[in-house]
Structure 1
Amino acid sequence: MTDINKKFLVGVYDDDDVVLSAVGKLKNSGVKIYEVYSPFAIHGMDTAIGHPRTRIGIAAFCFGCTGFLCALLLTTWTMGIDWPMVIGGKDPISLPNYVPVMFELTVLFTAFGMTISFFITNGLGPTVKPLLFDPRCTDNKFVMAIDLSKNKLSEAEIASIVKASGAEEVSIKQL
């Protein structure tokens, strides 16, 4: 989240290809971009802005392993140790009997873990006020936000670079 009373220069674009090329132009000019908001995902935008590769697959694997181990312990304890059950003449501790439960708990733990991780890492929740630089970014426009305190260039220089890169509108927002 951003601190209160920060100034952002906001550029509004009409086309996804224009905003993607504008990111490259601004990066080459030495401008640090805070974020680009769009109504749909733009292929290559995350690498153009400089976001690191996501580690969400590692988290999913860890949640899945946790679910698998919990299911293995649950079924082994309940059906093999605490209350041994003989099913179809098989041993009380027979892993093929446990496969459906292990699969279901692996999927359940992964789904819930990823949902909770998504909300925590993105700072979402019922009490969080979202940053909205321009409400049209959820409909049909592409919005680029530049934190002026993080850039060495002046406000006028950055505004002229953004305008020259194809922005329809350039404005200053105080959040």
Structure 2
Amino acid sequence: MATHKIHALYADDDVLLRAVKLIKEQKYHIEEVFCPFPVHGLEKAMGIADTRLAINAFLYGLVGLSVATVMMNYIMIEDWPQNIGGKPSFSYLQNMPAFVPIMFELTVFFAAHLMVITFYLRSRLWPFKKAENPDVRTTDDHFLMEIDAYGEDIDSITKFIYDTGATEISLIDNKDDH
């Protein structure tokens, strides 16, 4: 665990992106970057792997499609078959064209709602959670990079970070507050 954290504040997203690349070249560990809006290419510059949430969305859609199929078969064919518009009510396959809109809607419904739940759980967001944002200016117009400093010469690291275009640098003692 790092003994100190360095908070470098940037005023421009292009300067931030260039600074991330330079800092990664020097093999310093960037713990987190706080931005007021998404910065295109930042995750690639930081070396963050692509997300697998699209696979989850597909699986959640399959769950919705399965629920729709089972639900419609039970309700419209087994439990209470009705003659609606002269359509036969003894076979799911013969009625399937009429069920396509319901299947589509439940597929989208399950995928969307379960993805929201997955996002909140993955992001560790829940009601009454205290914000983890170290500087309130990052919600408006500044970018903050949190860099671990492992007992190296702090002055040389901060000088290097300042040379990357940081407008403000703070040294934070790393305390285990968990």
TM-score for the superposition, normalised by structure 2:
0.88
What letter corresponds to residue 128 of structure 1 in structure 2? K
Structure 2: distance between partners of 1:107 and 1:165 = 45
Q: Which residues of 2 match residues 89-128 of structure 1 at below 5 A?
A: 89-92=86-89, 93=92, 94-128=95-129
Which residue is equivalent to 2:25? 28
Which residue is equivalent to 1:62? 59
Q: Deviations over 1:94-113 (max 9, x none)?
A: 10121121111111111110
What letter corresponds to residue 72 of structure 1 in structure 2? T
Query: How far is the alpha carbon of 1:147 from its aligned partner?
Result: 2.5
Query: How far is the alpha carbon of 1:88 from its aligned partner?
Result: 1.9
Query: How far is the alpha carbon of 1:152 from its aligned partner?
Result: 6.7
SS in 1 for 2:5: strand
Cα RMSD after superposing both structures: 1.9
Q: Sequence identity, in percent?
A: 38
Q: Give the unaligned 5+ runs of structure 1.
A: none
TM-score for the superposition, normalised by structure 1:
0.90
Q: Which residues of 2 match residues 4-83 of structure 1 at below 5 A?
A: 7-83=4-80
Q: Deviations over 1:124-148 (max 9, x none)?
A: 1113222222111111111101133
SS in 1 for 2:50: coil
SS in 2 for 1:140: coil
Which residue is equivalent to 1:154? 153
SS in 2 for 1:34: strand
Which residue is equivalent to 2:171? 172
Structure 2: distance between partners of 1:7 and 1:86 = 73
Check whether the contact 1:13–1:141 (CA below 8 A) recurs between aligned residues.
Answer: yes
Which residue is equivalent to 2:139? 138
Check whether the contact 2:28–2:148 (CA below 8 A) recurs between aligned residues.
Answer: no
Query: How far is the alpha carbon of 1:6 from its aligned partner?
Result: 6.9
Q: Deviations over 1:5-42 (max 9, x none)?
A: 97421000111111100001101111010111111111
Going from structure 1 to structure 2, the CA distance change for 1:49 and 1:117 (only over 3 Å counts) comes to: same
Alignment coverage as a number of residue pairs? 170
Check whether the contact 1:133–1:173 (CA below 8 A) recurs between aligned residues.
Answer: no
